[in-house]
Amino acid sequence: MSIDKDTVKHISKLARISLDEKKIDNLSKDLSSIMKFIEKLNKINTDKTNPLTSIINASLKSRKDEVKDGKIRSQILKNSPEKNEEFFVVPKVIE
């Protein structure tokens, strides 16, 4: 499938992007080559290929769902420009 200049102009109009003639020529060539590559990928037989979520063949280790304090409250509150004993103070956003 090749993308001609008229198609690029139509897409740029829909996307509200202004393009000059040189960019239209370049985009037409680039989009055509991308579409040819996609057509090649579509021809590849992937029937015996399993989908991957990662390139590493390992599963996630489970852990107990426990609430932990972390014991670093004072370090976290050092980042706050304003604090009230144990909490961050934030501006009121109700109008």
The pLDDT of residue 40 is: 95
Number of domains in the chain: 1
Say if CB 79 and CB 71 are below 8 A apart: no
Min mean pLDDT across 19-28, 42-51, 52-61 is at: 52-61
Say if CB 5 and CB 24 are below 8 A apart: yes
In a domain, 67, yes or no: no
State the DSSP H helix or E strand holding residue 87, giving kind and residue range, or none if neither: strand 87-88
Domain assignment of residue 32, given as a range: 5-43
In a domain, 25, yes or no: yes
In a domain, 55, yes or no: no
In a domain, 54, yes or no: no
Say if CB 27 and CB 50 are below 8 A apart: no
Q: What is the pTM of this model?
A: 0.50
In a domain, 13, yes or no: yes
Say if CB 32 and CB 3 are below 8 A apart: yes
44 DSSP 8-state letter: S
In a domain, 10, yes or no: yes
In a domain, 49, yes or no: no
The pLDDT of residue 93 is: 85
In a domain, 60, yes or no: no
